[in-house]
């Protein structure tokens, strides 16, 4: 198990280029199974979850060719379905939450699929009902056999388009059902679909492969099934979660940072939510400039009530950034209520921040009140462990702003979602040692 040793109190200055979007990558990479023709993808992040999925695709028989920094060519012309029965497949797929999105393309093209119960972050229950109810609406037959090692087995010999109302606007569920529907016979209407930029990018890629998807960017998708898809070339968006993390990091460490090539129109309300914390920023073309700020003050509601930041399906505020907002508020002036509605265990890292000196009240598994220290008292370095990807980076931000030295264990969690984060931050003034 690797660790970070962080010397706090270092002010950063310079430019950061965000990696490709992790959550988009997991969808886009699964979609290469939909065609036997070559698919070229650019701006793929070099992170653990994505690399594991690329490795899994290669084991399935997909030809994988690295053609440049962050660029790969995939060709799924000779997929080995027998590999799905192997212990190696079970082990690798079970270790990766995003592996569940292999099912949609497998059902569309090969009329059957098999996946072990996937793992991922320990952030509460993350049910898969939306995926399988959607497949069943399309005519697939689903079976889960605990005696078979916990495999989900799906037969889709006769997929037909239909109307469906998803039980929740699940990002991965929408992506999975959408990929299954593009080659189903007839027309599929997906209502209450997720509409995150990741889904918009997936739909754009699928349409460039010959799919017929309309309503992209809304919660009502219409899919006219086609018999086959062709190859394509696709460039991924920058990671909006990393961009938000860098904004919070700049504020907490009183640093002057420019985040390059952000594709700002795709960020939705993310910049505005950080502005509500009092963080100054300038849009310079497609770059975001954050000046060094000694202090920043949290807004209140118009009636003077305490500001609340809550997560919601897009275009609401993404739950992946609530941990970053929470830690950024620790040194703000004012009080903030964080309401995590979508996962019940994602706030369970705040005890580490309290040990560092933060003033936080964990009201229940979904809500935490942060009383900003307003730089009157610095956080102090401690030893802690990263419970999940986003909490891990929140703890890293806290450690960078603290006095003394901190050690963060289990940084494999951070590596799952952030590309060479220590190297990139050290290049602009941080002091992070990988142990």
Between 92-101, 307-316, 387-396, the lowest mean confidence (pLDDT) is in 92-101
What pLDDT is recorded for position 124?
38
Between 200-209, 220-229, 235-244, 386-395, the lowest mean confidence (pLDDT) is in 386-395
Between 54-58, 288-292, 310-314, 343-347, the lowest mean confidence (pLDDT) is in 343-347
pLDDT tens, residue by residue, 90-137: 999 988 878 999 999 999 999 999 888 765 444 334 467 889 899 999
pLDDT tens, residue by residue, 62-76: 999 999 999 999 999
What pLDDT is recorded for position 127?
65
**Could you give phi then psi for residue 307, rounded to 5 degrees?**
-65, 140
Model's pTM, two decimal places?
Answer: 0.93
What confidence category does residue 357 fall into, taking pLDDT thresholds of 50, 70 and 90? very high
**Among 342, 350, 405, which residue's Cα sits nearest to residue 3?**
405
Average pLDDT of span 402-428: 96
Between 140-144, 238-242, 313-317, the lowest mean confidence (pLDDT) is in 140-144
Is residue 363 predicted with pLDDT exceeding 50? yes
- Taking a C-beta distance cutoff of 8 angstroms, is the pair 370, 388 a contact? no
Tell me whether residue 320 is annotated as binding: yes
Residue 426, SS3 per DSSP = helix
What pLDDT is recorded for position 119?
55
Tell me whether residue 410 is annotated as binding: no
Q: What is the DSSP string of 298-341?
A: --B-TTSPBEEEE--STTS--GGGHHHHHHHHTTSBSEEEEE--
Asked if domains 3-19+238-434 and 22-235 share a fold, the reply is yes
Percentage of the chain surpassing pLDDT 90?
86
pLDDT tens, residue by residue, 146-167: 666 678 888 999 899 999 999 9
The domains of the chain are located at 3-19+238-434, 22-235
What pLDDT is recorded for position 116?
85
Tell me whether residue 23 is annotated as binding: yes
What pLDDT is recorded for position 125?
44
What confidence category does residue 344 fall into, taking pLDDT thresholds of 50, 70 and 90? confident
Q: Which residue has the tokens 């189903």?
A: 184
Fold entry, domain 22-235: UDP-n-acetylglucosamine1-carboxyvinyl-transferase; Chain (3.65.10)
* Rounded Cα distance, 281 and 272, in Å: 10
Other CB atoms within 10 Å distance of the CB of residue 43: 20
Which residues of 156-235 form beta strands (DSSP E)? 163-165, 187-191, 212-214, 220-224, 232-235
What pLDDT is recorded for position 148?
65
Average pLDDT of span 189-193: 98
Fold entry, domain 3-19+238-434: UDP-n-acetylglucosamine1-carboxyvinyl-transferase; Chain (3.65.10)
Task: Please give the mean pLDDT across all residues of the chain.
Answer: 94
Is residue 306 predicted with pLDDT exceeding 80? yes
Tell me whether residue 307 is annotated as binding: no
Q: Has 121 been annotated as catalytic?
A: yes
Mark 118-131 as b/e (b = at least 16 C-beta within 10 Å): bebbebeebebebb
The residues, any chain, with a CB within 8 Å of residue 198's CB and separated by 6 or more, are: 21, 23, 24, 27, 171, 175, 237
Is residue 433 predicted with pLDDT exceeding 70? yes
* Rounded Cα distance, 84 and 130, in Å: 23
Tell me whether residue 97 is annotated as binding: yes
Annotated catalytic residue: which of 49, 121, 311, 415?
121
Report which secondary-structure segment, H or E, holds 259: strand 256-259
What pLDDT is recorded for position 96?
87
């Amino acid at each position: 198990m690797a660790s970070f040793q962080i010397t706090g109190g270092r002010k950063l200055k310079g430019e950061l280029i965000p990696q490709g979007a992790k959550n988009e990558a997991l969808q886009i990479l699964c979609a290469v199974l939909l065609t036997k023709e070559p698919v070229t993808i650019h701006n793929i992040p070099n992170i653990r979850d994505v690399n594991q999925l690329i490795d899994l695709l290669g084991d399935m028989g997909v030809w994988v060719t690295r053609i440049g920094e962050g660029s790969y060519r995939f060709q799924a012309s000779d997929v080995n379905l027998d590999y799905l029965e192997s212990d190696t497949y079970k082990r690798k797929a079970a270790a990766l939450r995003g592996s569940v999105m292999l099912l949609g393309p497998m059902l569309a093209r090969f009329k059957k699929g098999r996946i072990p119960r996937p793992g991922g972050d320990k952030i509460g229950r993350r049910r898969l009902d939306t995926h399988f109810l959607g497949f069943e609406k399309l005519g697939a037959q689903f079976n889960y056999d605990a005696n078979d090692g916990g495999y989900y087995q799906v037969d889709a010999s006769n997929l037909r388009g239909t109307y469906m109302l998803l039980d929740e606007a699940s990002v991965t569920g929408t992506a999975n059902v959408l990929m299954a529907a593009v080659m189903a016979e007839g027309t599929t209407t997906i209502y209450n679909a997720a509409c995150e930029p990741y889904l918009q990018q997936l739909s754009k890629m699928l349409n460039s492969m010959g799919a017929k998807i309309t309503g992209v960017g809304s919660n009502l998708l219409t899919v006219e099934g086609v018999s086959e898809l062709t190859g394509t070339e696709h460039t991924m968006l920058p990671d909006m979660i990393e961009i938000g993390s860098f904004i919070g990091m700049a504020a907490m460490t009183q640093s002057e940072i420019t985040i390059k090539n952000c594709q700002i129109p795709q960020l939705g309300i993310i910049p505005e939510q950080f502005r509500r914390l009092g963080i100054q920023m300038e849009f310079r073309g497609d770059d975001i400039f954050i000046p060094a700020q000694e202090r920043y003050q949290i807004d209140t509601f118009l009636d003077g009530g305490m500001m609340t930041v809550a997560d919601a399906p897009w275009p609401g505020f993404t739950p992946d950034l609530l941990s970053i907002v929470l830690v950024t508020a620790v040194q703000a002036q004012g009080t903030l209520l964080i309401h995590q509605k979508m996962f019940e265990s994602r706030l369970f890292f705040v005890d580490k921040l309290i040990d560092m000196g933060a003033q936080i009240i964990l009201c229940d598994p979904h809500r935490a009140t942060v009383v900003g220290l307003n730089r009157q008292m610095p956080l102090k370095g401690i030893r802690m462990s990263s419970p999940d990807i986003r909490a891990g980076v929140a703890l890293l931000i806290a450690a960078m702003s603290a006095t003394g030295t901190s050690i963060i264990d289990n940084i494999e969690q951070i590596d799952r979602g952030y590309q060479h984060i220590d190297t990139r931050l050290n290049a602009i003034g941080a002091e992070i040692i990988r142990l």
